[in-house]
Amino acid sequence: MTTNRSDTFDIGGELTVHRLGFGAMRLTGDRILGEPADVEGARDVLRQAVELGVDFVDTADSYGPCVSERLIGETLALDGDAADVVVATKGGVLRNTAGDWLASGDPDYLRNAVLGSLDRLRVDSIDLYQLHTPDPEVPFEETMTALAELKDEGLLEHVGLSNVSVDQLEQAREVVEIATVQNEYNVGNRESEAVLQACEEAGIGFVPYFPLGAGDLGEKAAVVADVAAAHDATPQQVALAWLLQHSPVTLPIPGTSSREHLTENVAASRLELTDDELARLSE
């Protein structure tokens, strides 16, 4: 992996965003269900992200469900920031009353899902629409063809994937241009390293979810803490800085409902790790 550092990335070759984005999954209630306990507080976190220069926000119709998208659409419209922020959303997952995440890649379902997302986000076309996960009950080509058609109709500007293998990425690219891939990945979890490598070779953005490992960086936790102490930084900042320097196509999307944590996360984009520190974290 190259360690060249750029502050921006061109999604789909044309949507230029700062590489450190904001994951809006937590702008909901407990277990990612229902309204947040403090709705205005959730809006303020989103507003602060934009004020701090974040211009890439990631969400999904299953967050709430529908709650995160609606809050983003309302808040950006009210503040007049909609044109300055690239909003990526995801579809293809249903939530039941127990809060389970159920794949649904049926073409008709996806079409209706896109229409709902357009309405909640208050846009005529979605900047980046990502398949949340492949549906084992629906042929993958059918799912991707449906998204390709929605893009051709102008309802989607760019198409992305989430939770996919290298083979699935290549299959999807035979049907429609893929702008991003969003897989779980962080300094302590490299299971998607091959997918990241494929994205880097193709110039596709790689959006690592759980970039902070949900607080668990496994066997890398001690090294991360050691590097953090050397920089008078937090372990979370080091984990984000590593992602930004590990590959030029990574677009980390740390999520939080705390304004203090948000400020700390954004500051990580200014943290420069040494070659030796990168090697220790990457080995």
H-helix or E-strand spanning residue 261: helix 259-267
For the chain, the residue count is: 283
Q: Can 63 be counted among the known catalytic residues? A: yes
In DSSP terms, 189 is beta-bridged to 186
**Nearest of 246, 251, 244 to residue 271 by alpha carbon:** 244
- Side-chain-side CA neighbours of residue 105 (13 Å): 19
**What Å distances lie between residue 268 and 186, 234, 236, 262, CA to CA?**
14, 9, 8, 10
C-alpha dihedral (246, 242, 272, 20), degrees to nearest 10: 90
How far apart CA 211 and CA 265 sit, in angstroms, is: 11
Q: Are 134 and 103 in contact (CB under 8 A)?
A: yes
**Structure-token pair, residue 101:** 């995440």
Q: What is the CA radius of gyration of the chain?
A: 18
Active site residues: 63
